[in-house]
Amino acid sequence: MNGAESLVRTLVAGGVSVCFSNPGTSEMHFVVALDRVEGMRCVLGLFEGVVTGAADGYGRMTDKPAGTLLHLGPGMNNGMANIHNAHKACTPMLNIVGDHAVYHRGYDAPLTSDIESAAKTVSSWVRTSPNAKSVAKDGAAAVAAALTLPGQVATLILPADTAWNEGEGVAEVPVVAGPKRVANEAVDEAARVLRSGEPTLILLGGRSARQATLNLVGKIATKTGCRVMAQGAVARTERGAGRLNVDRVPYPVDLALERLKGFKHIILVQSRMPVAFFAYPNKPSLLAPQDCQGHVLVKADEDPLQALEWLADEVGARQEKAPVSQYAPVKRGSGAVTPEALGLSLGAMLPENAIVVDESITTGRNFYGTTKTSQPHDWLQNMGGSIGLCMPLSVGAAIACPDRKVVSLESDGSGMYTLQALWTQAREGLNIITNVFANRVYGILKHELASVGAENPGRKALDMLDIGRPDLDWVAMARGMGVPGARATTMEEFNKHFAAATAAEGPSLIEAVL
C-alpha cells in the first residue's frame, strides 16, 4: 500500500467520507487512491474557493470534517478566503495540500512556495509529512486536530513522494476529548448576575444557537427577565417555529450601540464581547456600554448544554416554558421586487427544515425578521467577512443533508466570486435554490463610503461600487453551468419561480432584479 492509499484508508476509517477536490500533478496518486478505496465521496470544484467553502458547509452541518484536496501553494491560496471563513466559524475541516517531492523542492520549480507559512495564517494545525511511512499517522492526527473542540482547520501538506512510496498501513485516529465542563465559579457568577436584577444580556455564539441550548436559555430568560441575543454572525442557528427567536447584534455600529445600551452585564456563551466589524472615525470599537461587564459562562471548547442546565437549576428556571416562535407565516410579497417584499415571500415560503445560507448583505437586512415564524430551519452565516462563501457553503450543506432543501440567499456582487459552485451543484444534482439579489451595485460599500467619512466621491470612485454596465445575466450564467434559472422582475414572478424550485429536485437559480 503506498502512502496515498494508507492516508485515504486512514481518513475513511476515521469517519471522513467526503473529499472536495481540485487536484494537480502532485496529487495524482491521492486521486487514484480515492478511486480505489470504498467509502469516500469525491466532489470536484472548478475553483478552490468552491472546494474550501463546500468543506465549511459540510463541517457546519455535521460537526465532522470533510477533506479538501488542493494543489500546492497556489491551489491552497486560491481557496484561502474560504479557509479563513471556516477558521473563523470554528468549522472542523481537513485540508490536504500536495507539494513537490521532497528532493525536488530545492530546484525551485515553478509551483514551489512556502505552503506551511501561508497555511498557518488560517489553520489551527499544520504539518508537512516527511515521508510515506508517516502519512497515515499524520492523517490520523489531522482528523483528530480538526475534531478538537471548538472545531479546527487542520492542514496536512503532502510532498508528492510521500504518496507514491511504500506506506505503513492504516493508522487509527486518536480519541478526541468531548466538550469540557464549565467551572463552578463561572456558573455561580452568572447566577449571581442574573439574581442581581441589573439589566443583563445572554450573548450566544459557537454551537450554542441550537435548539436544546436555546430552550434552556429561553427558560432562564423567562424566569429572570434577562435578554438574549446572538453575535452578529453565528455559524449555524436553529430557528423558526418551535425555537426560541434570538436577534443578532446588528452590523451598523449606531444600531448595535443602541441595542446594547443600558446593559450592565453580558453573560458570554461561546461568544465574545461584541466588536464593530470595522473601525470608523469617532465611533467605538467595542459596542457594549463602557460600564457593562462581561462574564464568561461557556468558553468555545466547553459544553453549553451542561452549563445552561446547571445555570437553569441555579436560578430555578427548569420548570419554566421557553417562549418559542409559533408557525405564523407572513403574507407573500407582491408588486415590485424590493428587499421588504423579498423578505415577506421568503418568510411565507421557506420549506420545512430548510438550510438557509445567507450572504444577502444589504438586500437581506430584514430577512431574519420575516422568517422567525416560518417553518423550522437552520441559518448559516459568514463568520469571516470574506464574501464569496454562500454558493460553495450551500454545496457542502446539501451534500451533508441530502434530504433537506438548501435556500441560498446571495447578493450579486458576492455571488460573482465563486459562482463556479453552480457547476458542482448541477453535476452532483444538489437540492439548492440559489436566489440572486441583482441590485447591480456593491450596495453596502455605498453606505460604508459615508460611514468612514470619505466625502464627495467622484465618478471614478462611484464606478468602483457599481457592478452594472454590462448587467450580469445570471440566468445565462447558471444555464451555462447546467443549472436551470429564471428571472423575476415582479414579486408575482419570484413567488411562482420559488414555488416551482421548491417542488423540483436538483439545483435551480432565481435572479431577482431589484
Q: How far apart are CA 466 and CA 475, in angstroms?
A: 20
Residues 6+ away with beta carbon under 8 Å from 152: 90, 92, 93, 123, 124, 125, 145, 146
Contact flag: residue 411 with ligand TPP (CB under 6 A): yes
Amino acid at 465: L
Contacting range for ligand TPP; rule: CB under 6 A; set: 52-60, 229-237, 260-268, 355-363: 355-363
Question: What is the smallest separation between the CB atom of 395 and ligand TPP, expressed in angstroms?
Answer: 18
Question: What is the smallest separation between the CB atom of 263 and ligand TPP, expressed in angstroms?
Answer: 29
Question: What is the smallest separation between the CB atom of 365 and ligand TPP, expressed in angstroms?
Answer: 9
Contact flag: residue 363 with ligand TPP (CB under 6 A): yes
The site string for ligand TPP over 282-321 (x = CB under 6 A, - otherwise) reads: ----------------------------------------
Nearer Cβ to ligand TPP (12/445): 445
Around Cβ 17, how many Cβ atoms within 10 Å? 16
Contact flag: residue 7 with ligand TPP (CB under 6 A): no
Contacting range for ligand TPP; rule: CB under 6 A; set: 143-151, 437-445, 480-488, 489-497: 437-445
Name the β-bridge partners of 356.
379, 407
- Strand order of the β-sheet with 432-438 is 237-239, 377-381, 354-359, 406-411, 432-438, 508-513, 485-488
Among 274, 392, 413, 485, binds ligand TPP (CB under 6 A): 413
Calculate the dihedral angle through the C-alpha atoms of 241, 388, 505, 342, rounding to the nearest 10 degrees.
Answer: 50
Show contacts with ligand TPP in window 80-99 (CB under 6 A). 81
Which alpha helices (H) appear in 283-411, and where do they start and end? Answer: 304-314, 339-349, 367-370, 390-400
Picking from 120, 113, 49, the residue whose alpha carbon sits closest to that of residue 85 is: 49
Picking from 191, 243, 181, the residue whose alpha carbon sits closest to that of residue 230 is: 243
Contact flag: residue 275 with ligand TPP (CB under 6 A): no
Question: What is the smallest separation between the CB atom of 341 and ligand TPP, expressed in angstroms?
Answer: 16
Q: How far apart are CA 486 and CA 495, in angstroms?
A: 11
Confirm if 266 and 203 have CB atoms less than 8 A apart.
yes
Among 22, 439, 495, 508, binds ligand TPP (CB under 6 A): 439
Residue nearest to ligand TPP (CB): 413
Nearer Cβ to ligand TPP (229/441): 441
The site string for ligand TPP over 371-390 (x = CB under 6 A, - otherwise) reads: --------------xxxx--
What residues make contact with ligand TPP under the rule CB under 6 A? Answer: 81, 361-363, 385-388, 411-414, 439, 441-445
